[in-house]
Amino acid sequence: MSIKEKWLRWRHRRGFGIHSPWAYELITDALFAKSQFYAFNELDGTEDDRQLFRLFVWLRPKHYVSAGGTASALAHMKAAFNSYTDRGDSEVYYFASDRAWEIEKAFQGGWIDHHSCIIVEGIDGVNRPLWQAIVAAQSVTSTFEMKRRGIAFYDTARQKQNYLL
C-alpha cells in the first residue's frame, strides 16, 4: 500500500473529502463512530464486530442474510437487528471470507436488488477479484472498501462512488 493510499484512507475514515452527506453520515456515525452502545458490555467481540452492530443499527434493514462468520459477528448482527422495531426497506447480505461461492451465486443469480447492501469479508485475500467485480458492476452505486471488509450498496438514487477507508 502506497503512502498516498494510506493518506487517502486516513482522511476518508474521518470524513474529509467525502462530499455526499449520506456517505459522510455512514462513515462518521456507523463505521468509525467512537460511541458506545449498551450491547457492547454484554457482547464479547472485536472492533469489526462492533462495527457490524453500528452498521446494522444505522441501516435498520427489514431482512438480513448471513453466510458464515464468527459466532461473535453473528451475535452482534442479531443483537443489532433485534434492537429496533422500525424497519427500513433495505436488505443486508453478509458473507464471510470463506463463502466466495455464495457471493458469486447471490451476485450473479439476481438476488440483489434496489435497496440492498452486501458486506464481504476477506477482500484483502482470496475474495479480492470477486470484490473488484462487484465494484465494477453497473448496478452497484456506492462501495466502501476497508482493509478486510467491503460494503457495497445497490441504490439507484445515488451516484456511483468508491471510497477507500
CATH number at residue 79: 3.40.50.150
Query: 95: part of which helix (H) or strand (E)?
Result: strand 91-95
Per-residue burial over 120-142, b if 16 or more Cβ lie within 10 Å, else e, is bbbbeeebeebbeebeebeebbb
139 — pLDDT class (breaks 50, 70, 90): confident
Q: Which amino acid is at 17?
A: G
Residue 152's domain comprises: 37-164
Q: In total, how many domains does the chain have? A: 1
Separation in Å, CA 33 to CA 28, 30, 113: 5, 6, 28
- Is it the case that residue 152 has pLDDT exceeding 90? yes
Residue 66 lies in a domain: yes
pLDDT at residue 74, rounded to an integer: 93
Q: Which amino acid is at 121?
A: E
**Is residue 24 domain-resident?**
no
Quick one: pLDDT at residue 120?
Answer: 92
Domain membership flag for residue 26: no
Percentage above 70 pLDDT, the chain: 94
Question: Would 76 be classed as within a structural domain?
Answer: yes
Residue 20 counted as domain residue: no
Is pTM beyond 0.75? Reply is yes
pLDDT of 9 above 90: no
How confident is residue 155, by pLDDT bands cut at 50, 70 and 90? Answer: confident
| Rounded Cα distance, 50 and 143, in Å | 20
